[in-house]
Amino acid sequence: MVPVESLRMQNKGLVPVAVVTGGSTGIGAAVVEKLLQQGYQVINLDIQPGPEGVYQACDVSNVEAVQQVIAQIKAAYGRIDVLVSNAGRHLSADIEHTTEAMLDELFALNVKGAFAAVQAVLPVMKLQRDGVILLMASDQAVIGKRNSFAYNLTKAALASMARTTALDYAVFNIRCNAICPGTIDTPLYREAIARYCAQSGRDTNEVHGEEAAEQPLGRLGKPEEVAALVAFLASPEAAFITGSLQLIDGGYTAQ
């Protein structure tokens, strides 16, 4: 992997450039891999290195750090065509068991991180009069789930961000959509199940089976399936799609 600082206008506008936040594991890693396959130069902003693409260490909850890195990317490549704001984490707790510190920390990453990335890429996309912004929300952007107060709140905020950004920047041919995955088999999901089983004493395999059975298609989603949706929404084939919430949940929210 090559740090952004070492790049000097390698791209010269010939190859589309995609920035992915939280691209080192799970859905983010699948998105990086898919966009690389599609011919993008991909820069992954994360706190830990990922398996592929150009990696730049960045805590996206730090607005100034995000601004600096995006400026470096613009200087190195001359353009930014796609932003996939994917960085985030889960929190299982109802409102009574959510402290102010927990709420602040979750909002800093899930919401302020997206705010920072979107705000930073918009100037270059406006100059290009072209760009795609994809916010990784959740099925919880459109429905409520038990024991998920703060996480649900942050994902609903991303849905709102997608709508307002789509409307404000359509005149510049910048599209913005929110992707709303259901239960996807990622390290984040596995960690959440492990915590639940440790607290409840439940059998892990049994809980995984119950989660799969709750989905109308009878299984969990795959990160690669979400990545395929990202690639489509970033492509010219999706040129008339903006301001939308794109559910990819195996039919869960249709019940």
| Selected catalytic residue, list 151, 189, 196, 252 | 151
Enumerate residues 6+ apart whose C-beta is below 8 A from 37. Answer: none
Enumerate residues 6+ apart whose C-beta is below 8 A from 179. Answer: 134, 135, 136, 137, 226, 229, 230, 233, 246, 248
Residues in a beta bridge with 42: 18
Is residue 77 flagged as an active site residue?
A: no
> Are 230 and 21 a contacting pair, CB within 8 Å?
no
3-state secondary structure 138-173: CHHHCCCCCCEHHHHHHHHHHHHHHHHHHHHHHHHC
- CA-nearest of 3, 14, 6, 48 to 29 is 48
Quick count: other Cβ atoms within 10 Å of Cβ 231? 20
Give the C-alpha separation, 232 to 223, whole Å: 14
What is the DSSP code (8-state) at residue 179? Answer: E
Catalytic residues: 151
